[in-house]
Amino acid sequence: MSDTFEYFDELETRDPDLREQAQFDALVEQIANAKTNAPGYAEILKGIEPADVRDRAALARLPIVRKSELIERQKKLFAGHDPFGGLTAVKTGRLARIFASPGPIYDPEAMRPDYWRLARALFGAGFRRGDIIHNSFAYHLTPAGSMLESGCHALGCAVVPAGTGNTELQVRTIADVKPKGYTGTPSFLKILLDKGRELGVDIRTMKRALVSGEALPPSLRNDIKMMGVKVKQCYASADLGLIAYETVVGEGMVADEWIIVEIVRPGTGDPVPDGEAGEVVITTLNPEYPLIRFATGDLSAVMLGMSPCGRTNVRLKGWMGRADQTTKVKGMFVHPGQIAEVMKRHKFAGRYRLVVDRVQDNDVMTLKCESPAGRDEALAAKIGDTLQAVTKMRGTVELLPPGTLPNDGKVIEDIRSYD
């Protein structure tokens, strides 16, 4: 290990060829585990011999499982057996927690420490044993709060389980408890810092932050830095846990040690050359939820060369957009099927689309609907209530004359800019 940098464990600096060999040795066992214990994978991987999948070329021949398919798979397949579409390798009753992410997509958490592997990202962001961390990720139904809390505990840190909302109370708590760091979305961190200044409350003990759930544009990163907080981000999902993370020194995001990363051409399972943008596909070595060639719907690219921090795993450029229309708003996924459900409840036959924008570093949703009724504020309000009920987020509704929206098949349009 380097005398200059600290590492979470020796896995982070091992020879890349040894890492590759170890991961594919483990993958053989993982495929066997999935075929034996997860009925969904027994079907998906029918005819695949685990021992034959020992390199990336063989892995690339396996079927893709898309995140966008999980809702229908969980809803229709293996009904009555489990809520996970037959993709978990343990019985549902032996799990620690069952989460309902927007969609809904049901996500399992097993009974073992740091199930989501977030301790590594926290260490990479500069947190150490004995730190107090203010966790503003959501705890209700969705897993983000638990993901970061379990990582903090594995690292040996105390947690203030703040969750979302109650901004003034959170500021007062930070002032009293004096946490060293923050976990949550970057936009909410900025809100807390602004509220502290507004109230004249000193919350300057928070010197570090690990953020996720939404983009961290350079302007917002700089604003937070100017307010005294060194902010790093990680890339994680409720399905896979940690995917990649920023370190105190270095560019890009270093991949976690317990996943195999592929970048494929969107809409296919074909890997692209390093440096070329494509869809992020992850194979996890998680024995309880053995997702194999799981297409996240996110776009990224592998960065060439090794990280300056000395970690030898592949680096991702970070989030570069979505490969499908599913998008993330305020840290939560919104699916085209959810918008269709909103309109179905109001018996709309015209075109509609959800436009996602960013205003003053906050995500904003506008649902545009073609309606013969024209401008009807009462109807718009009812649709807005349904939008919030289905997506768990507020949005504005605009009723437009028929023929206004383009005939391009888009249900969700992301027009956010991070310049």
Could you read off the pLDDT of 114-146 as tens digits, one per residue? 999 999 999 999 999 999 999 999 999 999 999
d(CA 386, CA 355): 16
Q: Average pLDDT of 389-405? A: 92
For Cα atoms 159, 161, 163, give the angle at the middle one, nearest 5 degrees: 140
- pTM for this one? 0.79
Whole-number pLDDT of residue 3: 47
As given in the structure block, the two tokens for residue 230 are 């060194």
DSSP state of 256: P
| Beta strands 362-370 and 396-400, pairing class | parallel
pLDDT digits (tens, 9 = 90+) for 265-307: 877 788 988 988 888 999 999 999 999 999 998 888 999 988 9
Whole-number pLDDT of residue 79: 57
User: Is residue 53 in some structural domain?
Assistant: no
CATH code of the domain in which 368 resides:
3.30.300.30
Whole-number pLDDT of residue 16: 97
State the amino acid at position 22 in one-letter form: A
By mean pLDDT, which of 34-38, 101-105, 224-228 is the weakest? 101-105
User: Is residue 377 in some structural domain?
Assistant: yes
By mean pLDDT, which of 131-145, 157-171, 325-339 is the weakest? 325-339
CA 401 to chain centre: 36
pLDDT band at 327 (very low <50, low <70, confident <90, very high): confident
d(CA 220, CA 227): 11
The number of folded domains in the chain is: 1
Cβ count within 10 A of residue 242:
27
As given in the structure block, the two tokens for residue 260 are 């195999």
Q: Average pLDDT of 396-413? A: 84
User: Is residue 391 in some structural domain?
Assistant: yes
User: Is residue 221 in some structural domain?
Assistant: no
Q: Average pLDDT of 350-362? A: 89
By mean pLDDT, which of 16-30, 62-76, 208-222 is the weakest? 62-76
Query: CB–CB of 64/293 below 8 Å?
Result: yes
pLDDT band at 2 (very low <50, low <70, confident <90, very high): very low
Residue that is written with structure tokens 């590594």 in the block: 120
Residue that is written with structure tokens 């027009």 in the block: 415
pLDDT band at 209 (very low <50, low <70, confident <90, very high): very high
Range of the domain at 347: 329-414
The closest alpha carbon to 211, from 141, 142, 119, 148, belongs to 148
User: Is residue 64 in some structural domain?
Assistant: no
User: Is residue 137 in some structural domain?
Assistant: no
Q: Average pLDDT of 157-185? A: 96
Whole-number pLDDT of residue 344: 85
For Cα atoms 377, 380, 385, give the angle at the middle one, nearest 5 degrees: 125
Q: Output the CA torsion sign for 283, 287, 291, 292.
A: positive
Mean pLDDT of the chain: 92
pLDDT band at 77 (very low <50, low <70, confident <90, very high): low
Whole-number pLDDT of residue 188: 96
Percentage of residues in the chain having pLDDT higher than 70 = 96
User: Is residue 87 in some structural domain?
Assistant: no
pLDDT digits (tens, 9 = 90+) for 296-305: 988 889 999 8
d(CA 371, CA 382): 14
pLDDT band at 419 (very low <50, low <70, confident <90, very high): low
User: Is residue 341 in some structural domain?
Assistant: yes
Looking at the DSSP bridge assignments, the partners of residue 363 are 358
The closest alpha carbon to 237, from 295, 165, 178, 311, belongs to 295
| DSSP per-residue codes, 13-34 | GS-HHHHHHHHHHHHHHHHHHH
As given in the structure block, the two tokens for residue 389 are 């009920």
State the amino acid at position 21 in one-letter form: Q
